[in-house]
Structure 1
Amino acid sequence: MDFFSDISGKHVVVTGACGVVGRWIVDAFAAAGANLCLTDAQAPALDAYAGGVALGPDGFAHAADLTDENSIDGLISEIGRRWGAADILVNNAGIYPSGFLLDISTEEFDKIFSVNLRAPFILTRGIARQMIEKGVKGSVINISSGASRKMRRTVVPYCTSKTALDRLTKGFAIELAEFGIRVNALEPGFAAGSSVSSLTDEHVNNTIAAIPLGRPSSPGDVANGLLYLASDASAYVTGATLTIDGGNSIGSLAVHQAKKRPL
């Protein structure tokens, strides 16, 4: 099936558009001829990036702080005003701060869950309401992680937030099925270089060395899975998680020396 023909002209919302995986997602939908709403927290960076992307005739950029419900509601309202309803929502934005549980502040913990879990809930709820009102049989794709199933030291809140996001995906899937709205998750595998959550070279190299297929995720890997879940090719798929991570979540080729918290 030609995924691109299914996506052409569709109205697509992408959160965290300026990040590494976010840009891969944007490029995939732009190449497929979608109308894009790009959103990210930093307005200047978003405007600069969006200026070089083929957003489509109805496309636009709208900065939103995903820790602020009023800001999210403003984004939802703008989507409704411009489009009536989106066809596809990609909840991609996420943060990956590192720290031992004994050292992480309550504020840091709350922010992780605010961006990684609470924002997808608010956005999916609001955009699904618009889909239902306009009779759109849409698709929601939550960007998850193998960390949802494999706990890692120093990033426990992140892992926990992704586990919860997987359950939220299934919850929305079962409740929105009667309206023809499908909700799935995509695990894109390891991609280094996030501007929000920087990683050391040592961490990047060790992680890549442990991936069974021997390389990090690429734009093409993400695009293929994403367009499948967004297109009619997956019309009978909802509540599922598509893992495209080179086998990273099923096992490791390398045993890393356990990182210890200094006393």
Structure 2
Amino acid sequence: MIPDYRGEFAGKRVVITGAAGVIGTWTAEAFAAEGADLLLTDGRPGAVAELAGRLDAHAVPADLSTGDGVTALTEAIDARWPTADILVNNAGIYPRTPLPETERAEVERLFDVNVIAPYQLARHVIGTMTAAGAAGSVVNLSSGAAKRPTRTGGVYSATKAALEMLTRWLALESGEAGIRVNAVGPGFAPGSEVSALPAEHVAKMTAAIPLHRTSGPGDAPSAILWLCSSAASFVTGTTLDVDGGRTAGDFTPAKGTP
């Protein structure tokens, strides 16, 4: 359940990338419920248009794996507002590829979407916030993979580790302007990937989470909204893992645990 921020986000200009994914959709719904003015973007035009129509938001289809796609998005933001108040860099890709099959083109695409696009968007939005004298907020979506790589997801882990360091650097660069930059590491949410996940995989992942459940619609969005709120006015440059304890360490359920 998302806390009631009593109108704090009413009219706030919020950009969410990767908005048509599970975490993006939940986050958009949370901000919409608080009365925010939303600009939603995703590489799937039909999906983001449907979401924007449902939430009375503005949709901007954009492929963030290309410089042209990022430029088109920044131009759309500038055409709509003098500046955004909040940027949520949620878009990300996660191909699973063993080392011998990992080609340079895939590595470059992962870094383009997961690191370079968030950097370019944050740099642009922080610039417009500074010019407008607006004390805004940027939240980057990281992952427990930044701390716990898997054999077929090593490049993805590297991108998320880079994103967390980028978050710290941006916080240092923008703090004097009153702009806060943080990251959230959401927990495992079934359906958050384009392909359907087998039930046995979901069960295995759930068993490895100390709180013994998967992430739901009130988890990562609650952290994102809190970090963007006045309640977190002294929080910047940090990563908040909202993953049921998954990144705390190895977890083996006790015998007899359902």
Q: TM-score range by the shorter chain?
A: over 0.9
Shift of 1:4: 4.4
Show the 5 A alignment for 1:26-175.
26-55=28-57, 60-175=58-173
Contact 2:23 2:221 in 1 (8 A): no
CA distance in 2, matches of 1:198, 1:161: 23
Contact 2:180 2:236 in 1 (8 A): yes
Give the secondary structure class of the aligned counterpart of 2:100: coil
- The match for 1:216 is 214
Shift of 1:13: 0.2
Unaligned runs of at least 5 residues, structure 2: 254-258
Give the secondary structure class of the aligned counterpart of 1:183: strand
- The match for 1:182 is 180
CA distance in 2, matches of 1:110, 1:99: 14
Answering whether residue 251 of structure 2 is matched by residue 253 of structure 1, we say yes
Give the secondary structure class of the aligned counterpart of 2:11: coil
Give the secondary structure class of the aligned counterpart of 1:16: coil
Contact 1:15 1:93 in 2 (8 A): yes
- The match for 2:16 is 14
CA distance in 1, matches of 2:184, 2:233: 16
CA distance in 2, matches of 1:54, 1:30: 8
Contact 2:25 2:51 in 1 (8 A): no
Contact 1:4 1:33 in 2 (8 A): no
Contact 1:212 1:251 in 2 (8 A): no
CA distance in 1, matches of 2:28, 2:4: 18
CA distance in 2, matches of 1:104, 1:28: 37
> Deviation digits for residues 128-173 of structure 1, max 9, x if unmatched?
1111111111000001111111121110011111000000000000
TM-score, normalising length: structure 2: 0.93
Shift of 1:249: 0.6
| RMSD, matched Cα | 1.5
CA distance in 2, matches of 1:24, 1:214: 21
Unaligned runs of at least 5 residues, structure 1: 256-263
Show the 5 A alignment for 1:223-242.
223-242=221-240
- The match for 2:256 is none
Contact 2:16 2:89 in 1 (8 A): yes
Shift of 1:195: 4.4
Evaluate the alpha carbon distance shift between residue 25 and residue 33 of structure 1 in structure 2; reply closer, same or farther with a 3 A threshold: same
TM-score, normalising length: structure 1: 0.91
Give the secondary structure class of the aligned counterpart of 2:124: helix
CA distance in 1, matches of 2:206, 2:250: 10
CA distance in 2, matches of 1:105, 1:115: 16
> Deviation digits for residues 8-45 of structure 1, max 9, x if unmatched?
11000000000011111101101111000000012122
Shift of 1:50: 1.5
Query: Which letter does structure 1 place at the counterpart of 2:81?
Result: W
- The match for 2:26 is 24
Contact 1:173 1:181 in 2 (8 A): yes
> Deviation digits for residues 194-239 of structure 1, max 9, x if unmatched?
3435543332221111100000111111222111101111111100
Shift of 1:46: 1.6
Query: Which letter does structure 1 place at the counterpart of 2:30?
Result: A
Shift of 1:188: 1.4
Deviates more, 1:65-74 or 1:232-241: 65-74
Shift of 1:52: 1.2
